Structure 1
Amino acid sequence: MPGAWGAALYECRIAHVRTSPVRHAFTHRTYLWLVDLDHLPALPWPLRPLATFQDRGHARRPGPSLRRDLERHLDGEGIDLTGGRVLMLAHARSFGYVFNPLTVYWCSDPTGRPLCTVAEVHNTYGGRHRYLLRPDGQGTAEAAKEFYVSPFFPVDGRYRMALPEPGERLALTVHLERAGARPFTATVHGTRRPATAARLLLAAARHPLSTWAVSAHIRLQGIRLWLRGLPVHPRPAHASQQKVSAP
């Protein structure tokens, strides 16, 4: 059930497991918002340092709203979002900063029929890339990897993603498949709570400076892998946001 702001919070456990060329795993706890792009939460001013949904940091470029920015991409792929609903799972901007390694959009038509899922991947170099997915009944889809994320993997292989629309439970899985193996898996698991002032304050107390912590944690893990001698793959030239890609 959405809270007073028409949104939900998920306190999450994020896990990354790398099996090749070395085994490395870590977990991180944070919280994410599930919001309707047509009804973004407007928090009272004392709480706004904890969560805002400005277009800057979420949309591809300043100007259009989050909703309009997504519509423009989907229009180019022949998908009409007019009158439909878009749910977004992401970090809010907190204390002036936001970083979302993965933002997920679930898009449906005016009758509630699922149209597509968009997985927007962000890297720590300021780039982002959208994958347009048409999941099966279990929320599973595949897409060729087209974007440089980790410096320890080249831009090849395929993603197999299980991104079912969250309900009481959030359960997302992303596998990277290369040469018949799965050298990397990321999972996100969480429990739904109504987005209220009390819930937000509790989540922020449990996970202080959460958006800064996510970014710092990724960089720390990268340093650890580099110190273990993993070779770095050069970053290819890539626009900050290429076209939405469809498998």
Structure 2
Amino acid sequence: MTGPDFRATPAIYRTTITHSRTAPLRNVFRYRSYSWYVDIDDQPRLPRPLRPLAGFAPGDHLGEPSRSLRENVDAFLSAHGVDLHGGKVLLLTNARVFGYVFNPLSVFWCYDSDGRQVCVIAEVHNTYGQRHCYLLQPDADGNARVAKEFYVSPFNDVDGEYRMTLPPPGSRLRLAITLERPGQPPFVAAVVGERRDATRREVVAAALAVPLAPLRVSAQIRWQGIRLWARGLPVRPRPEHRRQEAV
């Protein structure tokens, strides 16, 4: 698989996120947000007045906060027998806004020194402050399957398998995660968006279009959980979580 135009970073994707559940209760909701697409070795350096609108910190992602994000990604990959030999890693994520960040899904597209895609890391966060990384080997269309190993929702957490569609973004972004559960219809989350150059004007425009975006996403997910609980959907207990990405 050939890598993308690495000069296309940094960028901002104005997004619409959809969550669709059909059983045992039907619940579909959508919300607007935006995500940053960055080279982890060349993260945006905003002028001081704009820094509250987009902050990037190693502690927001896998590994040890005392190390750089690149060091943490390389350590995680090395623990799984993968060496990029200095290749690029492009990240789609939410940035910190006024010091707060929440990332239900961050995606790392990993390329070797010849620009070939080697793997993808799908990093999932839940609303309990926990995270888990899935190492994927997608096909040419960005499709991969992986066993579910992490408690995300108090209503979805039964054994199952994720079908992830995570093609590298271009002018358009189209991602989908389908949780296939035994004897139940699937739960589907999808993200679509349009690319914008990460100019100073676009940074401000995105922040005004969706104010406090990470906080809004976190609040909206919690609100939907309250609504489902109020409608009688049973809550499944949360197991103890071990940080598998801390290597």
TM-score using structure 1 length: 0.94
Residue 18 of structure 1, aligned match among 3, 21, 29: 21
Conservation of the 8 A alpha-carbon contact between 1:58 and 1:66: yes
**1:8 and 2:15 matched:** no
How many Å separate the matches in 1 of 2:34 and 2:245? 29
Residue 244 of structure 2, aligned match among 236, 242, 245: 242
SS of residue in 2 equivalent to 1:62? coil
Structure 1's consecutive aligned runs of 4 or more residues displaced over 6 angstroms after TM superposition are none
How many Å separate the matches in 2 of 1:243 and 1:156? 21
Displacement of 1:153 in angstroms is: 1.8
How many Å separate the matches in 2 of 1:98 and 1:82? 31
Q: Percent identity?
A: 55
Mapping for residues 177-196 of structure 1, pairs under 5 Å = 177-179=180-182, 181-196=184-199
How many Å separate the matches in 2 of 1:169 and 1:207? 19
Displacement of 1:59 in angstroms is: 3.7
Which ranges of structure 2 fall in alignment gaps of 5 or more residues? none
In structure 1, the partner of 2:149 is 146
Residue 126 of structure 1, aligned match among 125, 129, 132: 129
How many Å separate the matches in 1 of 2:62 and 2:79? 17
Mapping for residues 24-63 of structure 1, pairs under 5 Å = 24-63=27-66
How many Å separate the matches in 1 of 2:226 and 2:200? 37
Which residue identity lines up with residue 105 of structure 2 in the other structure?
L
How many Å separate the matches in 2 of 1:178 and 1:154? 9
Displacement of 1:155 in angstroms is: 4.0
In structure 1, the partner of 2:112 is 109
Displacement of 1:82 in angstroms is: 2.5
Displacement of 1:181 in angstroms is: 4.5
SS of residue in 1 equivalent to 2:12? strand
SS of residue in 2 equivalent to 1:70? helix
Which ranges of structure 1 fall in alignment gaps of 5 or more residues? none
How many Å separate the matches in 1 of 2:159 and 2:74? 28
Structure 1 residues 95 and 243, CA, compared in 2 at 3 Å: closer, same or farther?
closer
SS of residue in 2 equivalent to 1:75? helix
Please provide the CA RMSD for this pair: 1.6
Displacement of 1:182 in angstroms is: 3.6
Conservation of the 8 A alpha-carbon contact between 1:59 and 1:65: no
How many Å separate the matches in 2 of 1:115 and 1:220? 38
In structure 1, the partner of 2:78 is 75
How many Å separate the matches in 2 of 1:87 and 1:171? 16
In structure 2, the partner of 1:99 is 102
Conservation of the 8 A alpha-carbon contact between 2:12 and 2:197: yes
Conservation of the 8 A alpha-carbon contact between 1:147 and 1:155: no
In structure 2, the partner of 1:159 is 162
Conservation of the 8 A alpha-carbon contact between 1:175 and 1:182: no
Conservation of the 8 A alpha-carbon contact between 2:142 and 2:168: yes
Structure 1 residues 213 and 2, CA, compared in 2 at 3 Å: closer, same or farther?
farther
Residue 90 of structure 1, aligned match among 66, 89, 93: 93
TM-score using structure 2 length: 0.94
Conservation of the 8 A alpha-carbon contact between 1:88 and 1:105: yes
In structure 1, the partner of 2:221 is 218
SS of residue in 1 equivalent to 2:215? helix
How many Å separate the matches in 1 of 2:145 and 2:211? 34
How many pairs does the alignment contain? 242
